[in-house]
Amino acid sequence: MRRSGITSFVLWVCLTILTLLPVWWMLVVSMRPRVKLYSKSFLIDDLYWDNFLAVLNSSTFLQYLWNSLIVATSNAALVCALGLLAAFGLSRYKISGGDNVFFWLITNRMAPPAVFLLPLFLLFTKWFVFGDFMLFDTKIGLILLYCVFNLPFAIWLLKGMLDGIPLELDEAARVDGATTGQVLSHVILPLARPGLAVTFILTWIFAWNEYLFAATLTSSAGARTVTTALAEYVSVTGTNWGEMAAMAFLTTLPALVVLGFVQKHIVTGLTFGALKG
């Protein structure tokens, strides 16, 4: 028992190093001046911030960062609200064809984004046009679009959680004269709050991390997101590795911060997703 404990400890130390290495290297490179870039040492020699300052002084990058923040937050909020309603409907009512609807909802997440790029591009530029307004190259377009992968995920997670809330609680509330709205707001919502928080955070991260849709369906600084900034930067500048690493780190940072706070809940979230599959 003791020996196996040591083995697994050693295994985990090795694994941790492997996991951290790429992220650490990104940080090391981001703190190197141009003259030292080709050094192969694994250590941060001195705290050199110019790469970060250069990235953060670019107004385009800040604009992209802001866009990402708005898109990810609005999308996560929208998805949580609609996901909770849908999960409530699916979990608490016997809907004719409900299973089929659930299956169809979930299959949307399975859809390869590359498959949907073309039709969405065409629809956004040619069909979803209202007067001067078209969905192409807008934050609203992205917010709606990210529902394709986030909404099924939210419904899936939340349905699992609502199924775990005993039906007797609903019934008891109804016997006491609660309306459906009150059941939802006074029974389900408080109990589902941890689940909602997990759903919000995970969908927020998925939206923040998305690249392909953002790259194809936006074209101006008004809507492009931080992931497209990183990709554009790489193709434009080629070998300015220091600034590229700094930008990659800044792109990753919010997700890392979130991870620190909610790591336990991410596990819980994935538990629900897995067990209620």
Partner 1 sequence: MRQSNIGWLFLAPATLILFVVGFVPFIYILYVGFFDWNTNAVDPTLRWAGLQNYRSLVFDTTFLNSLARTLVFAFFVVVSELLLGYVLARALMADRLWGRQFFRTIHTLPIVVAPIAVGATWRLLCVPGFGIVPYYLKLWFGIDYNISTNAYHAFSTAIIMDLWHWTPFVTLSLMAGLTALPKEPLEQAQIDGGNKLQIFWYVIVPMLKPVLLTTVFIRLMDALRSVDEIWMLTKGGPAEATRFIGLHIWINVFPKTDYGYGAAMSLLTLYVTIVLSWLLFVAMTGRKGGAQ
Restricted to residues 75-104, the positions that interact with partner 1 (CB under 8 A) are: 82-83, 85-86, 88-90, 92-96, 98, 101
Q: According to CB under 8 A, which one of 55, 71, 80, 145 is a site residue for partner 1?
A: 145
Q: Is 119 in the site for partner 1 (CB under 8 A)?
A: yes
Question: Which residues inside 199-238 make contact with partner 1, applying CB under 8 A?
Answer: 205, 208-209, 211-212, 216, 227, 230-231, 234
Q: Is 270 in the site for partner 1 (CB under 8 A)?
A: yes
Question: Which residues inside 43-72 make contact with partner 1, applying CB under 8 A?
Answer: none
Give the DSSP per-residue string, 40-53. --SS--S---HHHH
C-alpha to C-alpha distance for 124 and 165, rounded to whole angstroms: 40
In this complex, which beta carbon is closest to partner 1, that of residue 26 or of residue 173?
26
Count CA within 13 A, CB hemisphere, residue 80.
21
For 265, counting Cβ atoms within 10 Å of its Cβ (0-12 exposed, 13-18 middle, 19+ buried), the class is middle
211 in helix, strand or coil?
Answer: coil
Choose among 77, 117, 64, 76: nearest CA to 205.
Answer: 76
- Helix or strand run (H / E) with residue 129: strand 129-130
> Taking contact as CB under 8 A, which single stretch among the options 22-30, 47-55, 56-64, 189-197 is the one that binds partner 1?
22-30
Q: Is 152 in the site for partner 1 (CB under 8 A)?
A: yes
Q: Provide the b/e sequence for 221-247 (b: ≥16 CB within 10 Å).
A: eebbbbbbbbebbeeeeeebbbbbbbb
In this complex, which beta carbon is closest to partner 1, that of residue 63 or of residue 108?
108
Residue 174 CB, nearest approach to partner 1 (Å): 9
Question: Which residues inside 171-200 make contact with partner 1, applying CB under 8 A?
Answer: 180
Q: According to CB under 8 A, which one of 35, 59, 112, 220 is a site residue for partner 1?
A: 112
In this complex, which beta carbon is closest to partner 1, that of residue 1 or of residue 47?
1
Q: Are the CB atoms for 251 and 226 separated by under 8 Å?
A: yes
Choose among 276, 93, 102: nearest CA to 170.
Answer: 93
C-alpha to C-alpha distance for 29 and 242, rounded to whole angstroms: 5
In this complex, which beta carbon is closest to partner 1, that of residue 73 or of residue 271?
271
How many residues lie near partner 1 (CB under 8 A)?
A: 96
Q: Is 140 in the site for partner 1 (CB under 8 A)?
A: no
In this complex, which beta carbon is closest to partner 1, that of residue 97 or of residue 190?
97
C-alpha to C-alpha distance for 113 and 156, rounded to whole angstroms: 19
Residue 17 CB, nearest approach to partner 1 (Å): 10
Residue 73 CB, nearest approach to partner 1 (Å): 16
> Taking contact as CB under 8 A, which single stretch among the options 36-44, 52-60, 186-194 is the one that binds partner 1?
36-44
Q: Which residues contact 152 (CB under 8 A, 6 or more apart)?
A: 105, 106, 107, 108, 109
Q: Is 164 in the site for partner 1 (CB under 8 A)?
A: no
Residue 59 CB, nearest approach to partner 1 (Å): 21
